[in-house]
Amino acid sequence: MDIVVENLTKKYGAQKAVDNISFKVKTGEILGFLGPNGAGKTTTMKIITTYLTPNEGNALVGSFSIKDDPESIRKNIGYLPENNPLYEDMPVIDYLRFVAELQQIEKSRINDRILEMVNLCGLEGEKHKKISELSKGYKQRVGLAQALIHNPEVLILDEPTSGLDPNQIVEIRELIKKIGREKTVILSSHILAEVEATCDRILIINKGKIVADGTAKELRKQSEGKEILKVRIEDGDKNEIFSALQEVATVGTVDFIAGEDNAFEIQSKPELSSRREIFKLCVDKKWTLTEMSFVETKLEDVFRNLTMN
């Protein structure tokens, strides 16, 4: 199902949380909805899911309008909100059964759908535990399972990796990419690396307005000057290295490089260089720095330039 947003506006008093935006998401596409906190991402997603009503404009999910047929939209959408509200006193299996019944799945199919979700979302070892006993990463998996159990055509994910550790982030990213082969997905985040690693296309919103729309490659061409480094550090635990790099004063963001052991992409803060500080960190920690090279990727600059004003 395609999603078509047409001239959408949502006001809270005199403030416009969403200001006359329009865009389309094609079937089978993962759209990254990127923007700083308060940019209007969550409001837009809540409107598409029919949780909120816009002041102006419309949104279509397939042929269904949020104004004329919200019930049909809800049946075709899976939604994982940012705060992932779960009934934590329930075991995972019981919770998924409860959600399946709420979604009016045929009783004869419920057990099969629960089993499929347990396998798809990697919950086999956790399925009999109470949700309160799960780690944040597994709670996110349960949230994804409840969003998918009725086999919706469209998936709306608001900050799906918020609060996860680096390993969990990679796992959830891969799961979303797998799901996205068959679904239309909107994934919201304020973390650039999150969106770039997962999504086919990126839409940047700031102060309620769309300020950029394109693939990562297209947006990267708009960028200019900021130091981005590829660093490989040996002789240390990758999670400990990741955390230490985040604490370096000149470092803006750190991300794992998929498929490479102990390799990191580091984006320095504006007008700063992190090379000396990273070298000094490795000396202090007695880690071996085996690679440090410049990366041409500068998508972070696009985001910063478009959202700082």
Sorted by where each starts, the structural domains of the chain and their CATH numbers stand as 3-220 (3.40.50.300), 228-307 (3.30.70.100)
Give, in order, the Cα–Cα distances in Å from 5 to each of 70, 79, 203: 14, 17, 13
pLDDT score of 114: 96
Q: In this predicted structure, which of 73-87, 123-137, 198-212, 291-305 has the lowest mean pLDDT?
A: 291-305
Task: Please state, for a pLDDT cut of 90, what percent of the chain lies above it.
Answer: 63
Beta strand residue intervals within 26-62, DSSP E: 30-34, 56-61
Most confident of 99-108, 135-144, 210-219: 99-108
107-120 vs 166-180: helix axis angle to the nearest 10? Answer: 130
Predicted model pTM:
0.69
- Measured CA to CA, the distance from residue 80 to residue 158 in angstroms comes to 6
Bridge partners (DSSP) of residue 68 are: none
Task: Look up residue 269 and give its DSSP letter.
Answer: P
Mean pLDDT along residues 190-198: 78
- Measured CA to CA, the distance from residue 277 to residue 147 in angstroms comes to 43
pLDDT at 225 over 70: no
pLDDT at 297 over 60: no
- Non-local CB neighbours of 189 within 8 Å, separated by 6+ positions: 32, 33, 34, 159, 160, 161, 195
Query: What pLDDT digit, counting tens, does each position of 159-173 carry?
Result: 888 777 788 788 888
Residue type, 5: V
- Non-local CB neighbours of 88 within 8 Å, separated by 6+ positions: 130, 131, 132
